[in-house]
Amino acid sequence: MKKKLRKLEERLGCSLKDQELLIRALTHSSAAEGSTEESNERLEFLGDAVLGVVVSEYLHSQFSTWSEGELTQAKAVLVSEPTLAAAARRLGLGEVLRLSRGEAQSGGRERPSILCDAFEALIAAVYLETGFEKVRECILRWLAEPIESVALGEYSKDYKTLLQELLQEEHRALPAYRVLEESGPDHNKTFVVEVHLGKKMLGVGAGKSKKEAERSAARQALERHRNAEA
């Protein structure tokens, strides 16, 4: 394990003196169950908050002409589960995750939600040991690829696209949208839309167009998914 951790730190571009903290960041709840060990869940909570601040501050400072809506969408892409899971794969986190045997055998090392949580827990570990400036530097380096795509306008995925990618990866299936309600005069209509996966309702959204309502429903579905995985 020590050899694997040294290789991980080389890929991270930073080293942590507190190896127990690093190990905790890599410990899934399945590995800690039934023992006195602590999983990475509390670290993931902190890392999520730190990540949000870093990404928000960076977008606000670098893209001064963008509207609030554009900044919100860019942030949603950069902190989304698919983006963070991809970053975790580039760092090789799956190789060093501590999982139960059953979780490992069922594909846990490649599961997006587990990789995403480990990535955020790692952020918290770096923050606790090195402080905000160092963790900011690390986050921007680890997310350099999607950040560059955002800057070039090549990564303008909205909530519908993010939800579609998530469901394709986890269920090999596509979401379906259904209009529940359409009200108001022709020049000022309001639409209410549901998004489903098979018979399961994932989210509901409203908007002044069908597309806007679908995006709102997809956003709620993504938020529910993250909360369920937390």
Percent of the chain exceeding pLDDT 70 equals 96
On the question of pLDDT at 2 being above 70, the answer is: yes
User: pTM of the full predicted structure?
Assistant: 0.69
Across 105-109, average pLDDT = 88
On whether the 2-151 domain is CATH 1.10.760.10, my answer is no
Across 127-152, average pLDDT = 92
Active-site residue (options: 81, 103, 117, 120): 120
Contact 217/205 with Cβ under 8 angstroms? yes
pLDDT of 155 reads: 55
Q: From 200, 198, 199, 204, select the one nearest 221 (Cα to Cα).
A: 204
* Domain spans, the chain: 2-151, 159-229
Across 95-104, average pLDDT = 90
Digit-coded pLDDT (tens) for 19-53: 899 999 999 989 888 777 899 999 999 999 999 99
120 is catalytic: yes
What letter represents residue 57's amino acid? E
d(CA 164, CA 16): 37
38 is catalytic: no
Across 96-115, average pLDDT = 90
Categorize the per-residue pLDDT at 229 as very low, low, confident or very high, splitting at 50, 70 and 90. Answer: low
Active-site residue (options: 44, 48, 103, 194): 48
Across 104-126, average pLDDT = 92
On the question of pLDDT at 128 being above 80, the answer is: yes
On the question of pLDDT at 6 being above 80, the answer is: yes
Cβ atoms within 10 Å, residue 201: 14
Contact 78/54 with Cβ under 8 angstroms? no
Task: Give domain 159-229's CATH number out of 3.30.160.20, 3.40.50.2000, 3.40.50.1220, 3.40.50.300.
Answer: 3.30.160.20
What's the chain's average pLDDT?
A: 89
pLDDT of 116 reads: 94
Q: Which residue has the higher pLDDT, 73 or 122?
A: 122
Burial class (CB in 10 A: 0-12, 13-18, 19+), 65: exposed
Digit-coded pLDDT (tens) for 143-166: 999 998 888 766 555 678 878 888
On the question of pLDDT at 133 being above 90, the answer is: yes
Categorize the per-residue pLDDT at 15 as very low, low, confident or very high, splitting at 50, 70 and 90. Answer: confident
